[in-house]
């Protein structure tokens, strides 16, 4: 009898331990919310940090080549916005990098030797960009024009290099490689090149870079589209619209092709994420493509438009391509039903907005080929004015797709998010998150205020107001000190 009681007590203790182990850490929810917020906030600044230097330098080149004061004025003003944005992005990016160590110390402690390679590259690019932005900004009247222009060409590749470093880290989390696991589960025999060039790097890098340039192009063009709608139809607004919008328009159909390749890459590298993107519950061939829809707990999809066989055709170029369903994965190794719904919605939004961008590109291209001029329709400029916001929604949706779709893994198939989180009291994370909300609100307020003041100043300049009536210190160099 006593032995039976001992057995029952032992079994109960074992079940209690298992139940406790299955419960997510208390700090998991606030840590995920904080990381999602800071990522979503920082990505708003990344397109300008990566792509705006190219627009600025190209506009300066147009001004120098054609001796065009309007183009040079645009380039100088864009360089001011570029510098202000870089300063704000440096703050939010630094906070984001510290969060990896604060929120996910177990992941950094175990995989930091491999994961840190990308951030090392990003750090070098950051300092390079910071140095040459300073030279470019304050060199407008201090350097010969051609020298200034040539030095500006350091900025676009520096921005791309920084994005490359970040994508190295993200693609490694999605498809880890470049190491072997030792007996204690830690990486050994680390290969730097193997850690950099993982299987997801190619399609993730090009998909992000094109998205950043598209977003920056459409966003800058949307500012001048609004001015056009308000009746400001001078050469300043026309040139300010044409260059960035053309960049976005050229890249839109290219991005559509790259996105298709990237989705097929996810199909091969992360089948659970692909199943979530397509809300596929049952493994099958002739898998339909579902547009919209909500996935229920029983695997049924409601409110969705199903196109027979299309998903299998897109994934493997054959209707017989077998697509694994979410039900074929263990529940603790795939996104939950709620997460799959988020991923599918984000994926549909991203693809839908990309399709609209391609249609807008077609409208622009046909009109330009026929008339060698911009479309005259007010609806075109209304659509162009919304294209910037739409691009940002698309890029945010892309990050939701790749990050939420990887759940529950922080390092795919090697470490779960719940195993990487900081084992501190959840209240500490909530307090830190509250402080970050206040800090980011202050940063956003001053960033928008500075941009509005610059815009006001430039409108007064264009209206011919006297220098003493203009707000701010800009006289010789963009946003620089007044001369004695």
Task: State the DSSP code for 299.
Answer: S
Residue-number span of the structural domain to which 359 is assigned: 253-423
What pLDDT, on the 0 to 100 scale, is given for residue 48? 87
Domain-located, residue 157: no
This prediction has a pTM of 0.87
Range in 118-127, 212-221, 473-482 the model is least confident about: 473-482
Is there a contact between 347 and 399 (Cβ–Cβ < 8 Å)?
no
Average pLDDT over residues 89-97: 84
Domain-located, residue 346: yes
Domain-located, residue 411: yes
At residue 364 the predicted structure's pLDDT band, cuts being 50, 70 and 90, is very high
Domain-located, residue 444: no
Grouping H, G, I as helix, E, B as strand and the rest as coil, residue 293 is strand
What pLDDT, on the 0 to 100 scale, is given for residue 298? 79
Alpha carbons within 13 A on the beta-carbon side of 459? 9
pLDDT of 184 > 80? The answer is: yes
What pLDDT, on the 0 to 100 scale, is given for residue 183? 85
Q: What percent of the chain has pLDDT over 90?
A: 30
Domain-located, residue 456: no
Average pLDDT over residues 313-332: 88
Is there a contact between 42 and 89 (Cβ–Cβ < 8 Å)?
yes
Is there a contact between 343 and 277 (Cβ–Cβ < 8 Å)?
yes
pLDDT of 237 > 90? The answer is: no
Average pLDDT over residues 95-110: 87
**Phi, psi at 477, each rounded to 5°:** -110, 150
Angle of helix 28-43 relative to helix 378-404, nearest 10 degrees, comes to: 150
What pLDDT, on the 0 to 100 scale, is given for residue 465? 58
Q: Which residues are registered as beta bridge partners of 289?
A: 307
Apex 387 CA angle, 49 and 164, nearest 5: 30
pLDDT of 258 > 90? The answer is: yes
Measured CA to CA, the distance from residue 409 to residue 213 in angstroms comes to: 29
How many structural domains is the chain composed of?
1
Domain-located, residue 443: no
| Chain position carrying tokens 């203009």 | 470
pLDDT of 478 > 60? The answer is: no
Domain-located, residue 111: no
Domain-located, residue 207: no
pLDDT of 249 > 60? The answer is: yes
Q: Which residues are registered as beta bridge partners of 284?
A: 323
């Amino acid at each position: 009898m006593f032995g039976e009681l001992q057995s029952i007590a032992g079994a109960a203790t074992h079940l209690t331990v298992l139940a406790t182990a299955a419960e997510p850490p208390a700090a998991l929810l606030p840590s995920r919310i904080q990381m999602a917020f800071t990522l979503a906030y920082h990505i708003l600044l990344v397109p300008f940090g990566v792509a705006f230097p190219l627009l600025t330098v190209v506009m300066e080149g147009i001004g120098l080549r054609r001796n065009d004061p309007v183009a040079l004025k645009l380039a100088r003003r864009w360089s001011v916005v570029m510098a202000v944005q870089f300063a704000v992005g440096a703050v939010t990016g630094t906070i984001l990098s510290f969060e990896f160590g604060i929120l996910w110390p177990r992941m950094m402690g175990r995989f930091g030797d491999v994961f840190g390679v990308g951030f090392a590259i990003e750090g070098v690019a950051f300092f390079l960009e910071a140095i040459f932005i300073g030279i470019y900004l304050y060199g407008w009247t201090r350097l010969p024009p051609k020298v200034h222009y040539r030095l500006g060409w350091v900025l676009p590749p520096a921005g791309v290099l920084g994005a490359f470093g970040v994508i190295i880290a993200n693609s490694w989390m999605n498809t880890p490689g470049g190491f072997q696991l030792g007996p204690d589960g830690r990486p050994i025999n680390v290969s730097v090149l193997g850690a950099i060039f993982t299987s997801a790097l190619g399609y993730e890098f090009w998909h992000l870079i094109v998205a950043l340039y598209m977003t920056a192009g459409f966003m800058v063009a949307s500012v001048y589209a609004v001015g056009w709608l308000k009746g400001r139809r001078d050469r300043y607004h026309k040139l300010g619209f044409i260059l960035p919008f053309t960049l976005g328009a050229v890249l839109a159909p290219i991005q559509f092709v790259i996105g298709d390749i990237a989705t097929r890459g996810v199909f091969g590298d992360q089948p659970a994420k692909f199943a979530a993107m397509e809300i596929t519950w049952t493994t099958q061939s002739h898998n339909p493509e579902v547009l919209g829809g909500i996935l229920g707990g029983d695997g049924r999809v409601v409110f969705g438009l199903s196109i027979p066989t299309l998903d299998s055709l897109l994934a493997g170029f054959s209707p017989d391509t077998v697509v694994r369903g979410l039900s074929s994965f263990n529940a603790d190794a795939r996104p939950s039903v709620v997460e799959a719904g988020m991923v599918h919605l984000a994926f549909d939004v991203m693809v839908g907005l990309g399709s609209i961008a391609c249609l807008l590109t077609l409208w622009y291209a046909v009109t330009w080929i026929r008339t060698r001029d911009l479309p005259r329709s007010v609806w075109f400029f209304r659509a162009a004015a919304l294209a910037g916001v739409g691009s940002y929604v698309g890029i945010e949706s892309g990050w939701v797709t790749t990050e939420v779709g990887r759940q529950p893994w922080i390092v795919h198939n090697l470490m779960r998010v719940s195993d990487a989180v900081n084992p501190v009291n959840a209240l500490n994370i909530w307090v830190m998150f509250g402080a970050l909300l206040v800090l980011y609100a202050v940063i956003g307020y001053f960033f928008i205020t500075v941009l509005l003041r610059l815009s006001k100043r430039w409108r007064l300049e264009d209206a011919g107001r006297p220098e003493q009536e203009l707000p701010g210190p800009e006289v010789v160099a963009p946003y620089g000190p007044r001369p004695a």
